[in-house]
Chain A
Amino acid sequence: MSFAPKAPTSTENAKTLINDFSVEIATVNGSGSQTANNVLMRSIFQMGVPVSGKNLFPSNIAGLPTWFQIRANHRGYGARKHDVDLMICMNAETAREDVAKLKPSAICIYDEPLKLSELRNDLGFFPVPFQQLVAASCPEPKLQKLVKNMIYVGVAARMLGIDMDEVRKAISRQLKGKEKAIELNGGAAQAGFDWADQNIPDQDRLRIIRDNKTEGQLIIDGNSACALGAMFAGVTVVAWYPITPSSSLVETLAEYAKEYRVDPTTGKSTIAIVQMEDELASAGAIIGAGWAGARSMTTTSGPGISLMSEFIGLAYFAECPAVFVDVTRMGPSTGLPTRTSQGDVEICAKCSHGDTYHICLYPGNMEECFEFTYQAFDLAERYQTPVFVVTDLDLGMQNWATKPFTFPEGKFDRGKVLNEQQLQEVQDWGRYKDVDGDGICYRTLAGTPGGKGAYFTRGTGHNVNALYSEKPEDWKSNIDRLRRKFDTARTSVPPPILRSTGSSRGVLAFGSSDSAVIEALDILEESHSKKVDYLRVRALPFTQEVESFLERMDVVYVVDQNRDGQMANLLREFFPEPSGKIRKVLHYDSTAINAQTLVDQINEFEK
C-alpha cells in the first residue's frame, strides 16, 4: 500500500516544520534499534530530504540506554540539532528524563505502558501499544524484541508523511538478501503504519514532503570513507588494535579488500591486515613496513596514540613513512569511549618526547575523509614521516549524506627513493643529506641490489651518512633539517577553505565542526544581522592563508571541541604576533557540536 500524506491542516501555520526537524529515538542498546533507526533515516533520505544520523551510545554491548538523533534539514545542515522535535520513547529507564528535556509543543511517541502523557501538558503525546502490535505481526516470541523497533518506524512514517514504499525499500537495503528478516521487518513497519493510520489523529507540526535535494547522494560514515581512501591509495600493510571509535575502519577496509584487493589468479590478498597485540606493536609494525617500502597504516583513538607515542617519535626522527588515523574520542584516560571530541589535536601535532611536529590532516566531511586518507599516503612517502589523519567519532561513526567521491586520478607519490641504477649514478649518497634544500633526503629500501645504498636506521643521534653521532653540530643540523622538512610540507597539504563576507571578524574551525559552523554563520547573519568570515583549516603545518587570515581579522573565533582550545593554542604557537585576536569558542560536553552553542558564545563575546 502506498500512502499519500494528507496535507497538513495549515501549511501556512508558522509552527509547521517542513523537512526541518529532529527525531530522537530512545532505546536500549543491543535491542536491534540500530536497524530500525537507519531505516527511518534512509526513508527520509529517499524522500529527497537531506538527513544526518547521530548515535549517542553507551560504552556497553547490551542493556544500557542509547539515543539516536535523526535530523532532517532541507538546507543540508548535518550537525546535531540541540532541540528534539519528535521524541520516540522506547526505554522505560530514561523515558521520564527524555520527556522532561523536550521543548513545549514537541511531539512524543511512547510505548503505552510507560504512561508518559501525565508528565506534561505542553507536548503532543501519542501512546502506541507496541507489544500488542508486535505480537500480532510477529508470531515468534524470541524475534519480537528485535522487530518491535520497526513498529515505530511505521508509526513515524504515517505521522510524518513518509511514503511506505520508501520504508520498504530502506528495509530491503538494510537487510540485504535476508528475505525472512525483510518480510518480518516490513510487516512490523506496516503494522505500525496501519495502526497509526487508524488511531493517531493527523498532526501538522512536523512534515516530510518529497523533495529532490538528495539526488545523486549517498549515506556513509567517516570510517568507511577513510577505509575507501586507504584502499584506493594502495595501502598494503595495516597493523591495528581494536579501539572504539576506530575499529570499524579496518573492519570495513577488510570487507572492501575481499572484493577489490585480491589477486585474480591466485585469490591471494594484495593487502596484509594484521590485528596486533596492542597499539605499540601496531605502530612498530607499520613503521617497519613503511621503512621497507610498503604503504602502511594503523587506525586508533586517543589512548592508542598515547601508547604509540614512543614509536611515532622514532618514525619522525628515523624518517619512516606511516599513516596514523586517529578517530578521536573523549579523553583523557579511558574517558568517554563512545563520545566525540577534538581533544587529540595537540598530541597528534607533537606526539613524542623531544622536538617534533607532525603533518596532520583534518577532514571536515565525508569527501575529505576519503581524499585526505588517500593523500596521507602520498604525504607520508614524500616527506618520509608519520602523517596523521585526525577525525573523530562524530565524523567516523555517524551517518552523513554526501556527494559520491571523486576518483583520485594520477600516480602515487612514492617520494625520493633511489633504486639500484640511481645509486650507481649518485656520487657519495648519504641517507640524511639534504641535497635539494627542502629537508627531504633520498632513501633506499632494504633489498636493493648492487652493494650500494645499505644504511643503518636508528633512533639515536646520527650524521648525514646515518652513522651514530653525538656531535652537537650533527644533532642540531639534523633536528633543524627535520623542522625545515615539516615547513616544506606547507606546499603540499590541503590549504584552508575561506568563506569571505568582507567582515573583519572571523571564525576559524576544523574537522567535524564544519557543519555546525556553517549553520551558525547562517543564524548569525539571518537572525542577528552579523556577517562573519570563516576559515576552515584542513592541515598542519599551517599554510600562508592561515597567517593572512589571522592578520587580516580584528577578532578570530577559534572553534575547538575540547576544553583547552587546542587548535587555538597551536595557532598561538605558530603565530604569536596576531594571537591576541584569538577568542576560544569551545564545546566539550561530549555531545556532538551544535550551531546554537557557537552562536551563543560568539554573541556573548560581542556583547
Chain B
Amino acid sequence: MTTTPTIPTNKLGLTKQDYVGAKSTLCPGCGHDAITAQIIQSAWEMNIKPHMVAKLSGIGCSSKTPTYFLNQAWGFNSVHGRAAAVCTGVTLANRELTNVIASGDGDSMSIGMGQFVHMIRRNVPVVYILEDNGVYGLTKGQFSATADIGSVLKKGDVNELPPIDPCTLAMEMGCGFVARSYSGNPKQLNTILKAAFAHRGTALIDVISPCVTFNNHEGSTRSYKATKDKEIPLQELGFVAYHEQESVEIPAGEAREVAFPDGSRLTIRALRKNYDPTDRFGAMKDIHEAHSAGEFLTGIIYIQPDRPTLHDYVHMVDAPLAQLPQSTVKPNAEALRACMEELM
C-alpha cells in the first residue's frame, strides 16, 4: 500500500495549482514572473474564488502577466494604459468580483496616468500591481516615466528627466492603500498582496521588478543589484487573514495594527524611526526625502482602509447590476405613459 502525499488545500479546498495560469513567455529571470508567483500564492492563501476574479491589464510586458495566474479567472487584456477604466466598468457591472490589474510603469505612468489618478480618486475596488522596471521592454528598451535621473540605458543613453513616483502620486489622490515592494523580496510582497486583497478600495502596489534584458546592467538604477543594494524595508509586516485570526505569529516588538472590514489585520512593526504610514503628508515628505537621498524604501507607504469606494459614491443597489432582472430595470407601460403625459 502506498501513501499519497497530501497536497495542501485552502479553505475552498483548492490547491495552489488551481491558482496558476499559462506558462510565462517573458524573458527567463524577469522580475514579473516572481510577482506572478506571489499573486498566485497570496490569492490561494486568501481563499479568493478564482471564478470571482476579473484580472485586467493594458499593454506591455507586465500586461501579459494575467495570462500566467488564475486560469479559472476571467481575463481582459485591454488597451495601453486604460485597464483602470475597463475595471471601473467591470466593478459597476458586478461589484462582487475581485479585481486585479497588472500594469507597468510604461502603461500606468504615461498614457495611463489620467485614468490611473481618476481610478484612485473614485476609489475603484482593485488590487493594482504596477510592475515597475523603468523601461519599455516590449518595444526594446526605451526609458519610461519612472526612470531615475542619471540611469543609463543599455545602449548608453542617460535619463535627464525627473521620474514620476506612482506612490506619492497615488497618495496625492488620497489612495487608501499605497505600498512599494521589490520582486526580489517575496515574503514582503506576499504579505502586502494579502493585505491588498483585504482592502476595499484601490490598493496600489508599486513593485520594482528589474528587466533582465534591457535594464539590468551597470549604470541602471533598476537592476537587481542596484535595487537590492538600496532597498530599505520600512517595516516588518505581519498579516492575520480574516479566517486565521490568532493562529498566525505576528512580529515581536512594538507593532501598530490596521484592521480591514473583512476582519483581517495587518501588523506593522516599524523599522525606520518616525515613519508613520497613517500620516499621509508626513509619509509623502519622508518618501520624497528618501528618494533624494538615493534610498529605496519598501513596505506599507500609506494606509487608510476606511475611505468610501466607487460603489458608495454611485449609490447603487447591493446586487450586481449585471444580474438585475428585467422586471427591476425596465419600467412598465404605465411609467412610459406618465413620462409622455408630462410632455403633452
The chain A residues found within 8 Å of chain B, CB to CB, are: 216-220, 228, 231-237, 239, 256, 260-261, 263, 266, 268-274, 276-278, 280-296, 310-311, 314, 318, 404-405, 407, 411-412, 444-451, 453-460, 468
B88 surroundings in chain A (CB, below 8 A):
239, 274, 276, 281, 284-285, 288
The chain B residues found within 8 Å of chain A, CB to CB, are: 49-54, 56, 66-67, 71-79, 82, 84-90, 92-94, 96-97, 114-115, 118, 122, 310, 314-318, 320-324, 326, 328-333, 335-337, 339-340, 343-344
Q: Which of B74, B92, B115 contacts A446 (CB 8 A)?
A: B74
A293 and B322 within 8 A (CB)? yes
Given contacts A263-B317, A446-B54, A446-B74, 5 further A-B contacts (CB under 8 A): A216-B344, A256-B339, A284-B84, A296-B89, A456-B67
Q: Which of B73, B87, B317 contacts A270 (CB 8 A)?
A: B317
A269 and B331 within 8 A (CB)? no
B118 and A292 within 8 A (CB)? no
A285 and B75 within 8 A (CB)? no
Q: List 13 A-B contacts (CB under 8 A).
A: A232-B331, A234-B326, A234-B330, A236-B93, A266-B318, A268-B317, A281-B88, A284-B79, A285-B88, A311-B78, A446-B51, A447-B74, A456-B76
- Residue of chain A at shortest CB distance from B71: A454
In the complex the two chains form, what is the Cα distance from A96 to B119 in whole Å?
A: 53
A236 and B85 within 8 A (CB)? no
B90 and A459 within 8 A (CB)? no
Q: Which of B78, B97, B321 contacts A314 (CB 8 A)?
A: B78
Q: Which of A261, A269, A310, A405 contacts B340 (CB 8 A)?
A: A405
- Residue of chain A at shortest CB distance from B330: A234
B93 surroundings in chain A (CB, below 8 A):
236-237, 288-294, 296
In the complex the two chains form, what is the Cα distance from A273 to B318 in whole Å?
A: 15
B74 surroundings in chain A (CB, below 8 A):
444-447, 454-457
A217 and B330 within 8 A (CB)? no
B67 and A468 within 8 A (CB)? yes
B96 surroundings in chain A (CB, below 8 A):
447
- Residue of chain B at shortest CB distance from A460: B77
In the complex the two chains form, what is the Cα distance from A74 to B218 in whole Å?
A: 84
A270-B321, A281-B85, A288-B89 known; A459+B79 contact, CB < 8 A: yes
Expressed in whole angstroms, the minimum distance between the Cβ of B89 and any Cβ of chain A is 3
Expressed in whole angstroms, the minimum distance between the Cβ of B335 and any Cβ of chain A is 5
A270-B321, A280-B82 known; A405+B336 contact, CB < 8 A: yes
In the complex the two chains form, what is the Cα distance from A278 to B85 in whole Å?
A: 10
B77 and A228 within 8 A (CB)? no
B114 and A284 within 8 A (CB)? no
B114 and A269 within 8 A (CB)? no
In the complex the two chains form, what is the Cα distance from A561 to B269 in whole Å?
A: 69
A272-B92, A292-B94, A296-B89 known; A280+B115 contact, CB < 8 A: yes
B82 and A281 within 8 A (CB)? yes
In the complex the two chains form, what is the Cα distance from A280 to B76 in whole Å?
A: 17
B89 and A284 within 8 A (CB)? yes
A311-B79, A405-B340 known; A272+B322 contact, CB < 8 A: no
Expressed in whole angstroms, the minimum distance between the Cβ of A321 and any Cβ of chain B is 11
In the complex the two chains form, what is the Cα distance from A236 to B340 in whole Å?
A: 22
- Residue of chain A at shortest CB distance from B14: A451
Please indicate which of the listed interface residues A269, A284, A449 has the most CB atoms of chain B within 10 Å of its own CB.
A284
B51 and A237 within 8 A (CB)? no
In the complex the two chains form, what is the Cα distance from A296 to B322 in whole Å?
A: 10
- Residue of chain A at shortest CB distance from B122: A274
In the complex the two chains form, what is the Cα distance from A294 to B319 in whole Å?
A: 12
A232-B331, A447-B51, A448-B51 known; A314+B79 contact, CB < 8 A: yes
In the complex the two chains form, what is the Cα distance from A532 to B317 in whole Å?
A: 54
A268 and B316 within 8 A (CB)? yes
A270-B317, A454-B50 known; A285+B331 contact, CB < 8 A: no
Expressed in whole angstroms, the minimum distance between the Cβ of B333 and any Cβ of chain A is 4
